[in-house]
């Protein structure tokens, strides 16, 4: 990437403004027909038959994705042996204490086994730190989120933080640049990386490009704690806002309505 163009497969693409929004992905260092690396629940549909046949399923990762997948699995298949392995001391490490308890309580009451502070390693299989192999009929790897930032590491114009995110100012401009912006998971802003947040980034960036063209003041982006809903199966969920959390059917309905609303926006835009 240069001052006014990006180089893609030896072809130059010139720009007046550049938006960096390459996002992130789940990294799975093992390749097997019995392993899935997931970033969203819909991917389960691709492995439906394998899940149905499996008697023992292991979910690696205790974040929102791991909790939602294990909850869905145990709700749909209550007789299966479902286990969750997480490196953390708790589930949902970035959420409040009440949410952590509600998620753990739900899974344990459903019969899910949870193994905390278990670091796993991948080497033609899945192993614990003591070299004990983790056996299962099927694995879901729900950890190891990586930023799509490899193409930026050779650029002298882009400053990456320790996590690999792009350093931006209050207007989502890349530090040191007026016409280069960054949004979504790729930013180095300390906040929950959700689709809702990415949409807000997009609105701020588009408005600021228009304002630059019109010579107007730029709009600041203010990261803040936003409501979060976590599915626990299809008929219940957890709603969290700040230090307040509640579990139940209304939370699941709320998340579904949010998803429908956001999808409708995209359809209208298309």
Q: Which of 95-101's residues contact partners 24+ apart within 8 Å by CB, and which partners?
A: 95/228, 95/240, 95/245, 96/240, 96/242, 96/243, 96/245, 98/240, 98/243, 98/244, 98/245, 99/230, 99/238, 99/240, 99/245
CB 135 within 8 A of CB 154: no
Where b means 16+ CB within 10 Å and e means fewer, 149-183 reads beebeeeeebebeeebbbebeebbbbeebeebbbb
What CA–CA distances, in Å, run from 3 to 175, 187, 188, 206, 212? 14, 20, 21, 20, 18
Please name the fold of domain 5-21+152-214: FAD/NAD(P)-binding domain (3.50.50)
pTM, two decimal places: 0.75
| Tens of pLDDT, residues 71-88 | 999 999 999 999 999 999
* pLDDT confidence of residue 267: 58
* pLDDT confidence of residue 171: 98
Say whether 40-144 and 5-21+152-214 share the same fold.
yes
* pLDDT confidence of residue 84: 96
**pLDDT band at residue 9 using 50, 70 and 90 as cut-offs:** confident
Q: Is the pLDDT of residue 199 over 60?
A: yes
Task: Delimit the domains of the chain by residue range.
Answer: 5-21+152-214, 40-144
Rounded to the nearest integer, the mean pLDDT of the chain is 86
* pLDDT confidence of residue 36: 61
Instruction: State which CATH number among 3.50.50.60, 3.30.70.2470, 3.40.50.300, 3.30.420.40 fits the domain covering 40-144.
Output: 3.50.50.60
| Tens of pLDDT, residues 43-57 | 556 678 888 899 999
């Amino acid at each position: 990437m240069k001052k006014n163009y990006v180089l893609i497969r030896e072809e130059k693409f010139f720009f007046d403004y550049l938006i960096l929004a390459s996002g992130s992905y789940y990294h799975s260092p093992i390749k097997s027909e019995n392993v899935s690396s997931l970033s969203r629940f819909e991917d389960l549909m691709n492995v439906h038959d394998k899940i149905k046949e499996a008697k023992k399923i292991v979910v690696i990762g205790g974040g929102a994705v791991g909790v939602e997948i294990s909850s869905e699995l145990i709700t749909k298949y209550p007789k299966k042996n479902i286990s969750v392995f997480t490196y953390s001391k708790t589930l949902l490490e970035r959420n409040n204490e009440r949410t952590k308890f509600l998620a753990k309580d739900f899974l344990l009451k459903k019969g899910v086994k949870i193994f905390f502070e278990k670091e796993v390693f991948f080497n033609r299989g899945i192993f614990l730190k003591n070299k004990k192999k983790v056996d299962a009929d099927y694995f879901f790897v729900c950890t190891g989120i990586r930023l799509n930032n490899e193409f930026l590491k050779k650029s002298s114009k882009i400053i990456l933080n320790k996590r690999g995110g792009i350093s931006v100012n209050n207007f989502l401009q890349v530090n040191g640049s007026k016409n280069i912006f960054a949004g979504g998971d790729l930013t180095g802003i300390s906040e929950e990386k959700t689709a809702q947040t990415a949409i807000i980034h997009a609105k701020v960036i588009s408005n600021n490009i228009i304002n630059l063209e019109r010579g107007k003041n730029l709009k600041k982006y203010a990261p803040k704690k936003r409501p979060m809903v976590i599915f626990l199966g299809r008929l219940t969920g957890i709603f969290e806002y700040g230090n307040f959390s509640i579990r139940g059917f209304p939370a699941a309905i709320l998340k579904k309505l949010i998803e429908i609303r956001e999808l409708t926006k995209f359809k209208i835009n298309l």
